[in-house]
Amino acid sequence: MTKKPPFIAGNWKMHMTISQAVALVLKVKDLIRGVGNVEIAIAPPFTALYHINYLLAESSIRLCGQDVFWEKNGAYTGAISPEMLKDVGCQYVIIGHSERRQYFNETDEIVNKKVLTSLKEGLKPILCVGESLEQREDGKTIQIVRRQVIEGLNNISPGQMQDVVIAYEPVWAIGTGRTAKPEQAEEVHNSIRELLYETFNLDSVKETRIIYGGSVKSNNIDSLMAQPNIDGALVGGASLSAEEFSRIVKFEKIQANGNRQ
Ligand code: PEP
């Protein structure tokens, strides 16, 4: 089985007009030229996807949606289907981001419906999970994250697992400048990996990318990536700077070893 490369995705959230997005992606493309052994994705706002898809035609950078609806098509005003995202060039889609859970009342059940439809339509989900500060302080981190993973992946077939990326994003670390300590993140990632083994009984879950998100910057990516179960990063704020995002994707291990062990 070939080892999957680390996965680093930039979530631009509700930022960037089309012209700003074009300028940013051109800069990122330029700065990461020649970087190998890492899979890079960007998630611009829906309005910029069409233009960016053209600009990425000759690039290895993948395009990612920030959200998706769970129905294939129909009378769902304002919603975007997996087919539409694929049509505009997306291979990945972020599902269950804590901002969607918080501001759009997304439950684990909704998240699961989105994951199932995306997989069925050939779009790879990045399933986001993570505890609030209160839940961490109550000692409930592992319990909460495990529940979100189990419910988010409910009814997924073992074969579909190869297309799933899981992003552990402690809510208290998103956009706050507070990053989980590498050991804190590793503890959760390890527990997610164990859970995947228990659930799917598959050796291939060793290959499932479990990425970390929460104030990732160029000055903390190396220590995070040094952890055995951290396979990449979901980067929010720092992905809006081409220079900073390119420094993150060139994290130490790739530069030093050409590959991650
Ligand atoms: C995110 O939006 O997924 C995220 C991790 O944001 P930030 O890097 O800004 O904390």
Bridge partners, 211 (sequence order): 167
Q: Of the residues 13, 93, 101, 219, which should be mutated to test ligand 1's pocket, given the most ligand atoms within 8 Å of the CB?
A: 13
CB of 37 closer than 8 Å to CB of 5 = yes
Q: Provide the token pair at 78.
A: 């304002």
Is 97 known to be catalytic?
yes
pLDDT of residue 94: 98
Burial tier of 65 (Cβ tally within 10 Å: 0-12, 13-18, 19+): buried
Ligand 1 pocket member 236 (CB < 6 A): yes
Cα–Cα distance measured from residue 165 to residue 213, given in angstroms and rounded to the nearest whole number: 12
Angle formed at CA 174 by CA 232 and CA 88, multiple of 5 degrees: 60
Query: What confidence tens digit (pLDDT) does each residue in 65-104 have?
Result: 999 999 999 999 999 999 999 999 999 999 999 999 999 9
Ligand 1 pocket member 237 (CB < 6 A): yes
The number of the ligand 1 atom at minimal distance from the alpha carbon of 97 is: 3
pLDDT of residue 253: 52
Cα–Cα distance measured from residue 32 to residue 34, given in angstroms and rounded to the nearest whole number: 6
The structure tokens 């190998």 sit at 36
Cα 150 to ligand 1 centroid, rounded to whole Å: 23
Q: Of 106, 169, 186, 244, which one is the catalytic site residue?
A: 169
Could you tell me where the beta strands, DSSP code E, fall in the chain? 7-11, 39-43, 62-65, 90-95, 124-129, 165-168, 210-213, 232-235
Cα 246 to ligand 1 centroid, rounded to whole Å: 16
Closest CA to 8 of 197, 221, 226, 240: 221
Ligand 1 pocket member 170 (CB < 6 A): no
pLDDT of residue 257: 47
Query: What confidence tens digit (pLDDT) does each residue in 129-148 have?
Result: 999 999 999 999 999 999 99
Tell me the three state secondary structure of residue 204: helix
Cα–Cα distance measured from residue 12 to residue 191, given in angstroms and rounded to the nearest whole number: 28
The number of the ligand 1 atom at minimal distance from the alpha carbon of 173 is: 10
CATH classification number, 7-249, choose in 3.40.50.20, 1.10.10.10, 3.20.20.70, 3.40.250.10: 3.20.20.70
Cα 238 to ligand 1 centroid, rounded to whole Å: 8
CB of 40 closer than 8 Å to CB of 249 = yes
Is 169 known to be catalytic?
yes
Bridge partners, 9 (sequence order): 41, 234
pLDDT of residue 204: 85
CA-proximal residue: ligand 1, atom 2 (nearest): 236
Residue 103 neighbours by CB distance under 10 Å? 9
CA-proximal residue: ligand 1, atom 7 (nearest): 236
The number of the ligand 1 atom at minimal distance from the alpha carbon of 94 is: 3
CA-proximal residue: ligand 1, atom 3 (nearest): 236
Q: Provide the token pair at 23.
A: 């300028």
C-alpha dihedral over 147, 149, 150, 153, to 10 degrees? 150
Ligand 1 pocket member 211 (CB < 6 A): no
Cα–Cα distance measured from residue 98 to residue 199, given in angstroms and rounded to the nearest whole number: 24
Cα 260 to ligand 1 centroid, rounded to whole Å: 23
pLDDT along the chain (261 residues), means of 10: 85 98 97 93 98 95 98 97 98 98 97 98 98 96 98 95 97 90 97 94 90 96 96 98 97 54 38
Closest CA to 234 of 38, 43, 26, 14: 43
Q: Provide the token pair at 110.
A: 């909704």
Domain limits, the chain: 7-249
Number of Cα atoms under 13 Å in the Cβ half of residue 218: 12
CB of 225 closer than 8 Å to CB of 211 = no
Q: Of 97, 131, 186, 244, which one is the catalytic site residue?
A: 97
